[in-house]
Amino acid sequence: MKTVFDKLIQDELTNRIELLNESHKPIWGKMNVFQMARHCTNWGEWVQGTGKYTDHIYKQDFFGKLFGKAALKSNTKNDKPMAKHMPAGIHVIKEAELGDLAAEKARWVGLIAGYTHFSNDRFIHDFFGKMSKEQIGIFSYKHFDHHLRQFGIS
């Protein structure tokens, strides 16, 4: 399965990210291209425990404790892409309609490279709960792939 810990997959994602520009419109969902890139960089920092998440206290929410493990297994058992219209959760970007897309893309590419040295043992997904490194790699790839496909970058 594809994982963000694989250098070839990191290169694939980087190449796809570089194709994004302000003219891209979403095929589904409400975020514009800048909001999507900001969402992905915030999410990547959250997973890696960097940026504003350096001292973050991770915890699983109530519904995650009920359904998270089954959902995690379903989302990491094969290469099937994430479905359209998945909820963005706590990392949805509503406030910043416009921004420096080039800077956000550079930040995102840097975070992709950061998975090479991933070491955030504190990470607990707010819905899925504690994830193995393998699950983090698979789901991170699927999450980024989902948003790139959302803007027609496959």
Query: Is 2 domain-assigned?
Result: no
pLDDT tens-place string over residues 70-110: 999 999 999 999 989 777 666 666 666 789 999 999 999 99
DSSP string over 33-99: HHHHHHHHHHHHHHHHT-GGGTT------HHHHHHHHHHHHHHHSSSPPPPTT---GGG---S-SS-
Query: Is 83 domain-assigned?
Result: yes
Tell me which residue of 139, 140, 144, 147 sits closest to 29, measured CA to CA: 147
| pTM exceeding the 0.85 threshold for the entire prediction | yes
Residue range of the domain that includes 124: 7-150
pLDDT tens-place string over residues 13-23: 999 999 999 99
Cβ neighbors of 16 (< 8 A, separation 6 or more) are 148, 153, 154
pLDDT given for residue 53 in this prediction: 94
| Tally of domains within the chain | 1
Angle among Cα 102, 107, 108 to the nearest 5 degrees reads: 95
Percent of the chain past pLDDT 90, that is, above it, reads: 87
